[in-house]
Structure 1
């Protein structure tokens, strides 16, 4: 199975009409093709998960479960550390984001050293198959939303110096 480049959503123009595709069960190779077509650097980590690294975050593309319960998860780990005393403001901000948007749903994680980091996640049940067009458009939208969340948070917290770095994939690794 391969991705037709014209099936990647172009949010600036009118998409070409596509014939309906039958259900597919996506896999890591399909996601690699999609990331290549999006010109995003990616690698496979030591646990076998596909990851696209940026300067301030990493987005993982993971498959979990078996059979008709298999789930595709796009999870973004935002690497910018926040202090524990900033957590109430962070929670207020991510609650606002979660109310206003469909994805990624963002939550906080407090590490043992007292730093707080944010994680965004979107999931799709894929075990029984999904439309290829739906899978591609959802994955592209989730990646764009992960980038947008970082920009939005930088604006909310006044971290303007980080805005330009968030858009650039890291130069190392593929």
Structure 2
């Protein structure tokens, strides 16, 4: 199976290309399909020690994971935001992520407190894929989830008055990975 480039949503305000011919029935996405999509989106990626795909940015990493067996298989896009927050900031973080979670569909964001007392944020979106999904739905959802993960980081910086990254290219993958 291959992804028709015209099926990748364009959120830049320009008209979207007309969809091309693609599979007519449901597909069961796999890691190769996600790699192809990331390449078409011009995003760098790595495969970690556990076999998961990850796209690194300057302040976060987005993982593309398949979990479960056959009909119960889930595709998860999980973003780990690397900016550490102090434990005494957790209440403020919770207020911010609760606001984000009420206002948006994805990613749903939650906190994780490390053993050293630092608090980090994690965003997640999931799709049940075990019985198959429309290729166009899979592609548009995955692209939307990646872009929303990027937008969350920008939104959080703005909401909490955090120092912006040294480089202005927050929305570009980290070229050092």
What band does the TM-score fall into relative to the shorter chain? over 0.9
- Is 2:72 aligned against 1:72? no
1:14 shift after superposition: 3.4
2 CA distance for matches of 1:17 and 1:139? Answer: 17
Counterpart in the other structure of 2:159: 156
Counterpart in the other structure of 1:3: 3
Cα RMSD over matched residues?
Answer: 1.3
| TM-score, length-scaled by structure 1 | 0.95
- Is 2:140 aligned against 1:137? yes
- Is 2:171 aligned against 1:167? yes
1:71 shift after superposition: 0.1
- Is 2:30 aligned against 1:30? no
1:172 shift after superposition: 2.4
CA contact (8 A) 1:84 1:115 kept: yes
- Is 2:123 aligned against 1:120? yes
CA deviation digits over 1:86-132, x for unaligned, max 9? 00000000000000000000000000110000000000000000000
2 CA distance for matches of 1:30 and 1:143? Answer: 15
Bigger helix fraction: 1
Q: For 2:35, what is the secondary structure of its paired residue?
A: helix
1:159 shift after superposition: 1.7
The unaligned stretches of length 5 or more in structure 2 are none
Q: For 2:168, what is the secondary structure of its paired residue?
A: helix
1:171 shift after superposition: 1.1
